[in-house]
Amino acid sequence: MRRTPRIRRPREPASRPQVVAHRGSSHESAEHTLGAYVRALDEGAEALECDVRLTADGHLVCVHDRDLRRTAATHGVVSTMNLAELDELDFASWKNPWADLDDEAPDRDPEEGRVLTLRRLMEMVADYDRRVELAIETKHPTRYSGLVERRVVETLGDLGWDRAGSPARVMSFSLNAVNRVRRMAPDLDVVMLVERAHLWPVLRPVVGEDWIIGPGVRELRAHPGLGRHLVRAGREIHVWTVNTPEDLDLCLDLGVTAVITDRPAYVLGLLDG
């Protein structure tokens, strides 16, 4: 039997957008580490954003780049390595390589700098003492194709987060990836990320009516017509990566419902101060 498409009801107008910590509090801490996410929660972030990739032995890990040269000082490729191999690497030292020479620097828990699995991040969110949402981006292209989305939906299902009312949403720049998620979890919120403004006319006829749209703030600034069109179409908008007062003002003018930022404490201060 053919399923009737779900029509997304716009959220009630909020006094301000949700503040989403981009890869954790990544301006201050090494991205995608447990330490970065703990700091983001301590700073008051209302949601956490993460990128996920699949390891060779089938684990979802929070890593942005295909290879590990930037964040773990190795030429290894995530998709060719097992979780145990990744767990031996240091994902935090690159952010502050001189920390060992700073006598006043606080001691760092090695656990907070190791590779972080999606499951561990979900468990932390689930156990937190207030509601926190989770925005999960699947990275493409990848050798595992649709298996990434399948594993994401299965992992969400373990906590009952694959249905309406879930604190999680899944995002991607890949139209195929978002479609896969929606087929497997029809009531889960999804976000179609838009990298370039000129791609929106191509995407517009094929994205679901209830999908959230996620443009970059630089594209909104360079192409004001994109934001105006999304507003006129009644689209819910989540914007990345919002780090300055000027970026935030643009988002407030458009009435976006979420801003994704490297600096959650700073943006919260601008909004609430």
- Annotated catalytic sites, by residue? 22, 64
Name the residue among 250, 98, 254 with its Cα closest to residue 267. 250
Is the Cα torsion angle 250, 135, 199, 203 positive or negative in sign?
negative
CB 195 within 8 Å of CB 216? yes
Distances 10 to 6, 51, 53, 191 between C-alpha atoms, Å: 12, 26, 31, 14
Distances 54 to 5, 134, 187, 199 between C-alpha atoms, Å: 30, 18, 24, 27
Name the residue among 50, 46, 19 with its Cα closest to residue 36. 50
Kindly tell me the burial class for residue 15, based on how many C-beta atoms sit within 10 Å of its own C-beta (0-12, 13-18, 19 or more). Answer: exposed
